[in-house]
Structure 1
Amino acid sequence: MQDLRNLIKPGVWIIAIAFIASIVFMYGRSAFQGERPNSLVEVNGVAISYQDFLQVYQDVYARYREQLQEEVSPQLEQYLKSQVLVEMVKNELLWQETKKAEIKVSQEELNEAVRETMRPFGSQEAFMRFLEYRHILYSEVEEDIKKQLAINKLTQAIKSSTAVTEEELKNHWITQNERIGVSYVVVKPEKYKDEIEVTKEELQEYYQEYKEDFRVPEKVKVDYILIKPDDFADKVSEVSKEELENYYQENLSYFSIAEERRASHILIQIADLTNPEDDEKAKEKIEETEKELKGGADFATLAKEYSEDSASAEKGGDLEFFTYYEMVPSFSEAVFSLEEVGDVSEIVKTPFGYHLIKLTGIKASYVKPFQEVEERLKQMWKDEKSEALAQEEANNIRKEIEEKSTSFEEYIREHPDRSNTTPFFANGKEIEGLGWLPQFNQVAFSLKAEEISSVLELLEGYCLLKLKERESSFIPLLEDVAEKTEEKLIEKKSKEIGEDIANQIAIEAEEEDLSILSTKLDLEYKNLESLKRTDWVEGMSSEDRQQFMETAFSLKEGEISKPLDLLFGYYIIELNTRELLLDNFSEQKEEFKENFLAQRREQTLNLWLQQIWEKAKIVDNSSLFFSP
């Protein structure tokens, strides 16, 4: 992975709010037993662990894969890893700066933000069930929303310090609204590849000059012993009734079913939680509803008529059964404090608004009886004992090798079913047959000759590694990369031919029309009659488009550019017309100023963030987990 500092440039900062919510979801156990860095990155002494990173990365990876509807390429995968880590470092820096500034968030601000977060789920019930499915505590979500609100206050304060002058505004208007007409010819080097012949002498000369480009990275091959818990299932002794009952008592929490309550509610939302008038209107409306209820009106009928929770209103406000932690705390406190079915709460305020809640059912908490879970208990017992036996076996093997009772090689010979050898693999790359295993990879490259690794825990079981062979980085002989070298040389030559033709066209275009020259040479020719700086040009990447626009708008009418070297070839551009309409400036001035000011504020924030990043003490261990 590239150096983290090199991944951050002014103008490309994006504050990714979604990352804050993702970071709280961690993996449970460490997969490595032995020495390794305690963190992937440290930001002013605060660690970002590999487990934290992996959880966020997997979420992002899954979203990209879903959008692409295909496998993510290795190049995109590497880019995503870099960007995820950069975003995590940025958010940590922002949070540290926010704490320094002692920025506070009010309860009303928090309630409004929570409500906005929940809005896409349609109802409070749906949101809380989503959290339960993801094994996320509501308190964690609320805390992270609170952090993000504080960060937003800080960044907003920095943005607010920006202003624009009248002259700056007018110059920016000209930049954005100026239109030009251009024509251009594209010379694509690829067109000339088939015409090129390469001699042995040229091949040798090219290889000597660029042989570093063919360097093969250092690789290792390791022998490993893998002890799988599944292999010990048959060795687990039959559990007695008494042992199983004791095991049941020790693990009652696995079989405890929390109390569930069923409730119906009437919700009156507050249009703007930060606006006292909106709060008062909602409160008055819920109080009027409460009067009708106390006057004998049917709760379900009132819910259908007045409740603003569309998901439950049509069902008479019914939320079905839920546990205490499936709803926001204030709502659950009210429901679980009601004593009898049929009781109705006082008015309750939550991030959603004001509620009246009716208790309609109670399922008492209980522990599933032993008889009901006996088979599951047996499997849990077996799995746990198998896991323990596998770990013990791996540790014993390690100990025997240390004490010279056996050797790694002897054990492999005697237990071929438990051992294997990897093919050669590079640092940070996938291992054929095993996949992407950063810890395995890291340990393999850290081993010295004759050194046996500590026990490494993988998904499949417990592993011991020994370095079998190490291939130093080397430059292969020409005969081994002749085909690849020839391809590179032809590519270089075709580019030189393309450049020569493009330069010649630029000269001849002073006397002859570009369209005629393109026809003579069978080249692509385009005429764009009206082009703004913000327009897209067909077949160009955003980076190429920017260079194309800068060159085109820098020309005078009738002027022809020097060949512009872009991704798909050399572009020779001629400026035909230039037009600037200032008629609409006055009437669109305020809206344009607002947009321009927003851009300038983002630039100010970007610059500030860049300075904070450069001053921060960042310890980057990512190269130990990822390939360069």
Structure 2
Amino acid sequence: MKLFFSFIIALLASTQIFSQENEEVLFTLNNEPVFTKEFLKAYEKNAELITESNNKTADYLELFVNYKLKVKEAKELKLDTFPKYISELEDYKNRLILPYLKDADVTKKLVEEAYQRLQKEVNASHILINMKPDSSPKDTLNAYNKLLEARNLVLKGEDFTEVAKKYSEDPSVEQNGGNLGFFTGLQMVYPFENAAFTTTKNEVSMPFRTKFGFHILQVHEIRKARGEVEVAHIMIKKEDLKAEKKIDSVFNMLKVDNSNFSELAKNISDDRASAINGGKLKRFGYGEMIADFAKVAFEMKEVGEISNPFKTKYGWHIIKLINKYPIESFDEMKAKLTQEIQRDERSNLIGKSVIKKLTNTYKIKVNKEALNQLETEDYRNELNGFDQELFKIESKTIFQKDFIAFLKANKFATINSAFNSFKEQEVLNYYKANIEFVNEEFADTYKEFKEGLLLFDLLEKKIWEKSKDSIGLSNYFSKMKPKKYIEKDFKSIKGTVISDYQIHLENLWIEDLHKKYRVKFNSKEKKKVLKN
């Protein structure tokens, strides 16, 4: 029965008047206006949900008035001030607001860009100088200049691999000379991907920064992407002569009958994680697997084909090709790409775009004197009296002490870079705090949940808890037995009786609410509404 009442709440709590100037009043509730627009908006959204009615509009209007009475009662009881209610509402608002913190145009461009990059695979080498995000300007400049020095050596003709071994702080450089093999879109951090896909073949990029530090890269080859493959493999870990003989023995058995590949993998393969699945691996793209393994897998042509034994740093392998997967169409990949982009580093661009638009929209006034004080005096020394107004966003004032708390909780190379981040954070906070007053779609959805949650608590108190009263339920059954439950045993229809009893309790409660609060219709508007 709770589901029924929840449905009615959702049915009615589906609209909010966004601007109430010059709007017609449909009725007043203790002199508080309820507008025609609000009713019509709710009715248009939910009318098809009211069935078996000769006069849908009149029936819905009755439900709507009763709904407003319940909301009024919940607020009179101050249920909206309870900590549990406030906490649940805040959690919901934080989830609801997420889509409104994204720029749809920027998201669209990033999704299209990602799909285009997935059509290619790039082979590149890089040189890395490690650098923390909060490194000093001096350290940052030194790293940048060091990479310019390395770049100039390559441009003068020195081999990139040798320069990488001399300069790079990537731990793997001794093994790979800085070469990362082939990779496609969404496989590298976004700044690195950008540099790789915008640098032409054989060219060396200018230094660029990622979360790992500063890099330069050289692009060796660009080719059409190969999609994904799904394979099973048998692996023998060791690389000695005994292991080679064992893998050759397995290969000879497979040449006679490759239908038992799965059983052999289960019994022989040293990769126990895949062995239990007959050696089957998760489908992968070229850059998602070690190069030696990927090269063999992607060169196989026919489904069911068995590779010759080959060696990687993990041991000896034999691969069976299960399937090849070409790159899907844009429409097929769009939803997945959108999710991936919103999870990775490029989502910052989406948020930055929103903040930039907000910054240009809001009136923001910075107190330069107060900011200069923080740059020239020690903000950790409370005796310096940092109590000035730092800046304003519209009518909201942010003080020096607010920024100082931010500085103590975060690390930045300079006060100026910290202030820019703090200002962006406060702009976003202001937007989130005021979104329901400027975005009608958000306001409608938020109010729907806000009032629905409020009425859920009220109905639980007024109806559901009371219906658990065994004496009241028994009395109701006895009273209604001659009319509704003739020759029926209570136990056999207990669920039905409870449901009927809840409806009975609600009807009595609504009668009381009509007595408690005065509903006065605007007759002209009511006639207009009922004609629809």
Q: Tell me the TM-score normalised to structure 2 length.
A: 0.32
Q: Tell me the TM-score normalised to structure 1 length.
A: 0.27
Per chain length, whose mean CA-contact separation is higher, i.e. which structure has more relative contact order (CA < 8 Å, sep 6+)? 1
